[in-house]
Amino acid sequence: MYSGLRIPFQSMGSAQQQMDTISNNLSNAETAGFKSRQATFSEMMYQQEDNMPMPENGTGRLTPPGIRTGGGAAIGQTALRMEQGSLKESERELDFALEDTDAFFQVEAEDGAVEYTKDGQLYLSENPAVPGSYTLVDQNGGFVLNEAGGRFDIPAGASEFSMQENGELTAVTAAGDTVNLGAFGVVQVERPQALTSIGGNRYRFEDLDGLGAAEDDMVIEADPSSVKQGMVEQSNVDLSNELVNMMNAQRQYSFNSRALTQGDQMLGLINSIR
C-alpha cells in the first residue's frame, strides 16, 4: 500500500485505541477501586530502500546508505496504573478499603476460578454451599474469599460487623454473642501488568503459560490488617489529565485524517494524468 495512505491510516487506528482507553477511564471515574490504564505508543518497523546500487559513490557519506521509511506508530501497551486512590469514609459496616497499593481482595468467579478486585463495597448474601448461613459478596455477586481461601460463614441474623486490629472480622449474632468470622484473603500481586481486566471491576490471570509462570508465583499473602472498615477507595482517574490526553488524541486523529485525505487526492491527481 502507498505509504502516504498506510502510515496515517495506521496512526488513526492507534489514536482511536488511545481514545477508547481514555473513554473507559473517564466512564469509571466514580467507580470504587477502579484502576486507570495509560496507552503508550511505539514506532513500527522501518522499511529500508536501497537507492545506492554503487557503494563506491558513497565515499565520504556520513549517514547510512539508503532511505528509511517509517511505518507509523502503534499502541505498545495499555499499562495498568496502580497508584492508590483516595480513601473516602462511608457509613456502612460492610465497606472496606485496602491501604496497600498492590493488595487485592480475592473473589470466587462463577467458574470457580479466583479473580481479584480493589472494590471493597460488600453485601450479605445467602451461602448456597451452607444452607441457612450467609456470606459476603461483591457488587457483582461474586463470593469474597477469606484467608483460608473459602467463603465466609456468617450466621443468619448477624449484625454489628467490626474489623479488629489484627484484621479479623467479628459480628454479633441474633442471640447477642460475638463470633469471629475470620480475616479477608488479601493478596499482593507481584506483577499487576499481567492482570487482565474482565469487567465488573475484576481482574484475573489468563496467559500465565505464555509468561512461563504459575499463579502462585504471581501473588503472595498480604497483611489482612491493611483492610480498613467503613472506607471506600476511590478510582485513581485524574480527570484533568485524561481530558488533556483526550484532546491530544483527537488532534492526532484529525491530523492523520487530513494527511490521509491529501494522500488520496494526490493519487487521484496522478491517475487523472493522461
Closest CA to 37 of 22, 56, 55, 57: 22
Q: What confidence score (pLDDT) does residue 199 get?
A: 86
Instruction: Measure the CA–CA gap between 125 and 143, rounded to whole angstroms.
Output: 9
Task: Tell the residue number behind the cell numbers 554503487, with chain if given.
Answer: 54
β-partners of residue 80 are 37
Q: Which ranges of the chain have pLDDT less than 50?
A: none
Residues 245 and 232: their CA atoms lie apart, in Å, by 27
Whether residue 127 contacts residue 136, with contact meaning beta carbons closer than 8 Å, is answered with: no
pLDDT of residue 77: 82
Q: What is the pLDDT of residue 178?
A: 93
CA distances from 264 to 16, 222, 250, 268, 274 (A): 21, 58, 21, 6, 18
Residue 240 confidence (pLDDT): 94
Amino acid identity of 93? E
Per-residue confidence (pLDDT) for residue 58, from 0 to 100? 66
In degrees rounded to 5, what are phi and psi of residue 241? -65, -40
